[in-house]
Amino acid sequence: MKDIFRIFKYLRFFPKEITLNILFNICFVFFSLFSFAMIVPFIELLFGVSNPVSSEPEFGFNQAALTDWVTWQLYQLKLTHGTWQCLFFVALGYIACSFLSNCSRYLGMYFLSPIRNGMIERIRNDFYHHITILPVSFFSAQRKGDILSRLSNDLADIEWSVFNCLQMLVKDPINIIVFAFVLIFISPKMVLFAIVVLPISLFIISKVGQSLKRNSTKGQDKLGYLFSILEEAVFGVKAIKSFNMEDEMSKRFEKENQEYTKRMIKVSKRKELGSPLIELLATMILAVIVVFGGSLVINGELRPAVLIFFVIVFSRIIPPAQAVISAYYNLQKGSAAAHRIFEVLDEKEGITERENAIQKNEFEHSIEYRNVSFAYQSDNKEYVLKNINLTIEKGKTIAVVGPSGAGKTTLVDLLPRFYDCTSGEILIDGIAIKDMNINSLRELSGIVSQESILFNDSILHNIAFGKRNINKEKIIEAAKIANADEFINQLPNGYYTTIGDRGLSLSGGQRQRISIARAILKNPPILILDEATSALDTESEYYVQEALERVMQNRTSIIIAHRLSTIQHADEIIVMDKGEIIERGTHQNLIKAGGLYKKLIDLQSFS
């Protein structure tokens, strides 16, 4: 339940609403209770159960003195106005109390609404903000569908399982506490007798609640896996169709869906058990109390009307007790969802910025990889990169080649600190990148990768991504350099055309040219091209390659490529294999050396 208490920490942002909610809930309880306060003297006086005292008693804060005082006042009212008018006045008082009680209940809910929705808004914002600052390695190890499930379904579970209980958690405990004090005031002996049998009930309820939490946690994990399967189906629909895997993938989903449904049926059964269980236990306790109270009446230790009042007030505790138990079960279910939310929020940022980090706004002379090694897990001895030593001079074009899994992309991902070196360091102009302000470091480089990362927005906003208050003329200029202006102007709304999810309404070459235009607009001194043309057809490659050649002019460029046309004029070619640099030199020198580079050329990996 500690995760639930962490959720409740968000209450600190709503002190005014919480105060008013509690105030009106207290008013609700007291106005509800007041209507029952006259039961004892009313029964005794009007129905002749007992005769009033002959003289006005002193007012006192104990059950006998207070009962006698109220009985005397009602008796005087009866003598003055008669029995029917006395009943009429009491009825009007009851209606007034009911009206004030319901108004108080409404106002309590009125001030709860901004609390519940405001807390959800803050949790959602915190979750989204945190996943944007987590290291890339976190997303490599997590299923994206599961992350989406946490933000959608788990947060919905918190809203309905936790925040819908807030009113119960405020109003009903107040109700129970006030009524319990009244019961103690009426007959401490009977309350003590009731307390003796309560531990058994609470033990049974807690066991059911623990089972509910276990099943809820497993159910949420299953739902996250279902989302992952759904995400794979959406993004891999072409592969599923081309390999005739529709039935097999459907069976896989149905199997997991069936497991999830079974788990949630168990959760529902446990949850629905709470209300009838508490009602049965309360009824059993009430029956025992009636028998015990009856014996006190027979022995003259308790007045009959007081016993009736005690039973009525005790029975009024049952509905809020049921609500509290239901809230407890909901909290157990919500605790599983809260745990999954805080699993992400507690994930360490990984890439941290040092205090007084250096603001680096210009690239002056060189990039240096000094004895750099890297493993994705700090305790993992399987290094992706091993003892890399590399210097890249300003204005030079460096190509990085090698077979798949050689560590090429990892090498360039370390430069903008998507990951941090396991050992060694990377320096820009002699300054370790770990000592630099992260934002300024990333401003120095622009990345164009094999997979164009575009957003469901207009072309204009995709090109201007990361730039504020940029004028349209500069965006158009960048698009022209990227060979994108012509096809953009042919679209229905030109630069204001929305390109859909991940830009899939455009061809691969068009998407890539928009990515290049975005990099051009950023105008970074260091350009990273990660297989930017490998997935394109011949015509698209021509336009993209032409654009890249323009972009690389007067820039320091690091190119990861499989195609000879991209790298043959590079100032230096770095050949990697199994995380190490095994060859380096110009295109002609490496061909003459007859090593791995020559073998890759012969296999037409770069054609």
Please give the pLDDT value at position 203: 61
* Alpha helical stretches, state H, 299-374: 304-345
Of residues 292 and 421, more confidently modeled: 421
Bridge partner list, 436: 358
Please give the pLDDT value at position 536: 63
- CB within 8 Å of 483: residues ≥ 6 apart: 513, 543, 544, 546, 547
The conformation of residue 22, written as its DSSP 8-state character, comes to H
Rounded to an integer, what is the distance from CA 281 to the centroid of its chain?
37
Please give the pLDDT value at position 141: 65
Of residues 437 and 552, more confidently modeled: 437
Q: Is residue 388 within a helix (H) or strand (E), and if so which, with residue range? A: strand 385-393
366-602: CATH architecture: 3-Layer(aba) Sandwich (3.40)
Please give the pLDDT value at position 429: 92
Q: Give yes or no for a contact between 58 and 69, defined as CB atoms under 8 angstroms apart.
A: yes
pLDDT band for position 368 (cuts 50, 70, 90): very high
Would you kindly state where each structural domain of the chain is located, as residue ranges?
A: 2-345, 366-602
Of residues 367 and 607, more confidently modeled: 367
Please give the pLDDT value at position 276: 67
CATH code of the domain made up of 2-345: 1.20.1560.10
Q: Give yes or no for a contact between 397 and 403, defined as CB atoms under 8 angstroms apart.
A: no
Rounded to an integer, what is the distance from CA 17 to the centroid of its chain?
24
pLDDT band for position 607 (cuts 50, 70, 90): very low
Please give the pLDDT value at position 41: 53
Nearest to 157 by CA among 221, 63, 97: 221
Mean pLDDT in residue range 368-374: 93
Percent of the chain's residues with pLDDT above 70: 72
Query: Mean pLDDT over all residues of the chain?
Result: 77
* Number of residues written out for the chain: 607
Domains 2-345 and 366-602 share a fold: no
Of residues 221 and 450, more confidently modeled: 450
**pLDDT tens digits for 309-326?**
777 777 777 667 666 766
Q: CA–CA separation, 71 vs 38, rounded Å? A: 9
Q: Give yes or no for a contact between 323 and 168, defined as CB atoms under 8 angstroms apart.
A: yes
Mean pLDDT in residue range 445-454: 80
**pLDDT tens digits for 110-153?**
888 888 888 888 888 888 888 777 777 777 666 776 777 777 77
Please give the pLDDT value at position 8: 79
Mean pLDDT in residue range 212-226: 61
Q: CA–CA separation, 77 vs 99, rounded Å? A: 24
Strand order in the sheet with 526-530: 445-449, 526-530, 556-560, 397-401, 572-577, 580-585
**pLDDT tens digits for 81-117?**
766 776 677 677 777 877 888 888 888 888 888 888 8
Of residues 26 and 211, more confidently modeled: 26
Residue recorded with tokens 């051009």: 520
CB-based burial of residue 2 (10 Å sphere; 0-12 exposed, 13-18 middle, 19+ buried)?
exposed
Please give the pLDDT value at position 515: 84
Of residues 599 and 197, more confidently modeled: 599
